[in-house]
């Protein structure tokens, strides 16, 4: 497997999410057009993305945002402590 193919493979999800530059996206499209294996992987990822996107969205439980803030604070404190020791 070529390293170029590996680089393209690593960008497939980012391509589907619209996170690539225009030049990067063009390389992914071109590579998928020339390589049936990459095209199949891209198609499979697209199907998964569509299935996940079709799932109903549920609201987070009450208090989830506050719990997240507290956990972020704990992580920050642990990181700060680690840098001091």
The pLDDT, as a whole number, for residue 34 is 98
63: alpha, beta or left? (left if phi > 0; alpha if psi -120 to 50): left
9-38 residue pLDDT tens: 999 999 999 999 999 999 999 999 999 999
27-78 residue pLDDT tens: 999 999 999 999 999 999 999 999 999 999 999 889 998 988 888 887 777 7
Higher confidence at residue 14 or residue 85? 14
What are the contacts of 35-44 at 24+ separation with CB within 8 A?
A: 35/5, 38/5, 38/8, 38/9, 38/12, 41/9, 41/12, 42/12, 42/15, 42/16
Residue with token string 């497939």: 12
The pLDDT, as a whole number, for residue 8 is 97
Confidence of residue 82 (pLDDT cuts 50, 70, 90): confident
């Amino acid at each position: 497997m070529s390293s170029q193919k590996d680089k393209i493979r690593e960008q497939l999800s980012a391509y589907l999410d619209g996170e690539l530059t225009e030049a990067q996206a063009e390389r992914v499209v071109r590579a998928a057009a020339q390589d049936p294996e990459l095209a199949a992987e891209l198609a499979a990822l697209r199907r998964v993305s569509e299935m996940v996107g079709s799932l109903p969205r549920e609201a987070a439980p009450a208090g989830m945002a506050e719990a997240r803030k507290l956990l972020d604070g704990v992580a920050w404190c642990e990181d700060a402590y680690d840098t001091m020791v």
